Structure 1
């Protein structure tokens, strides 16, 4: 008469023991997954230098770094994602991890570069990647000795290079190569060929 109750207690005792083992194993597995995910890293590209909008993306301009970005890893370029014909869709700062949105196919680019010889000179600290405005003052006479009031020609353009000006007609010691939208090229070239005095003005600086 006493055998049946004892068998039931043994059965339920064994079942609770097994459930306890499963819970412990699940807890250990969960901790392992958390630790593994927190220490996992993936290789992504980091810019060695400032790369301006429209500039070709080449492997020499990047280093490969292992970072833990979690779910955001897919939003950044990995080494195998870099391919010929890609250009910067926006300025990529030196040391920045390269997001996928910062790269585009060269065939879709709508910008080009124009060299500006600034009549007012250039700031000493002007560098590639800086955003500037281009102003122009149209000439009032054929001799180009007098000019009209300056007016904004192109806003929010990016400096791609600053170089020493060459030739006896250069008006300043340095010129700025700027990236502009192709829709603005005609106006800029007309100002240059028309004899306007052009000035490169960093954003935030009064013209």
Structure 2
């Protein structure tokens, strides 16, 4: 008979085998990391939500804000979680839309808001885009040539923010008006146009914050 080929026997892994221990550690670590990630993604946290449009300079309190539970993940630190975290006397430093989470960057003090409110009378209805919190332009149209003017329109304020829209009264006792917030350096020029009773139009800006094209 010929020589018998040697039989290869597989050795059972031992618990003290370093490769087996490393493999177990890696599996356990991956499972724990996955569980932690799922837990963080499903975890909710309180955050302040605007009840309605908030204009720059408006107070940040229980009348303008409410608390809801949302999944913010890693963005939790970007938003204010409770009214207790809002400093006393704080106001909105920029416009916050209805239903929007209150960003930490939108919390300021009155002296931080370099805007001033001006009420502009409106002869006819304004566009649907002219709503509280919307960014608008103010256009001044000088009198027609027959009235001693040039009849030209010019952009008076490039960025103003609507604070309030007054629809007036059905009996005509109160005309329609729009309260806008304009940069402090533009207030004098706007008031001069209003004092001279010249035409000043409030125009919505398509694509701007708070305005739908």
| Runs of 5+ consecutive residues of structure 1 not aligned to the other structure | 1-8
1:190 to 185, 189, 192: 192
TM-score by length of 1: 0.76
State the alpha-carbon separation in 2 of the partners of residues 102 and 56 from structure 1: 11
The 5 A counterparts of 1:45-56 are 45-56=48-59
State the alpha-carbon separation in 1 of the partners of residues 200 and 72 from structure 2: 45
1:89 to 87, 93, 104: 93
| Runs of 5+ consecutive residues of structure 2 not aligned to the other structure | 1-10, 207-213
Over the residues paired in the alignment, what is the CA RMSD in angstroms?
A: 3.2
The 5 A counterparts of 1:131-170 are 131-139=135-143, 148-149=150-151, 150-165=153-168
State the alpha-carbon separation in 1 of the partners of residues 125 and 90 from structure 2: 31
Give CA-to-partner distance per residue, 1:42-68, whole Å, 9 cap, x none.
111111111122222222222212222
Aligned residues: 189
Displacement of 1:199: 2.1
Question: 3-state SS of the aligned residue for 1:151?
Answer: strand
Please identify which structure carries the higher helix content.
Answer: 1
Is this contact kept in 1: 2:91–2:107, CA < 8 A? Answer: yes
2:113 to 109, 112, 130: 109
Give CA-to-partner distance per residue, 1:100-158, whole Å, 9 cap, x none.
11222222211110000124x232633212222222234579xxx77542332222211
- Residue in structure 2 matched with residue 15 of structure 1 by the alignment: 16
State the alpha-carbon separation in 1 of the partners of residues 30 and 167 from structure 2: 66
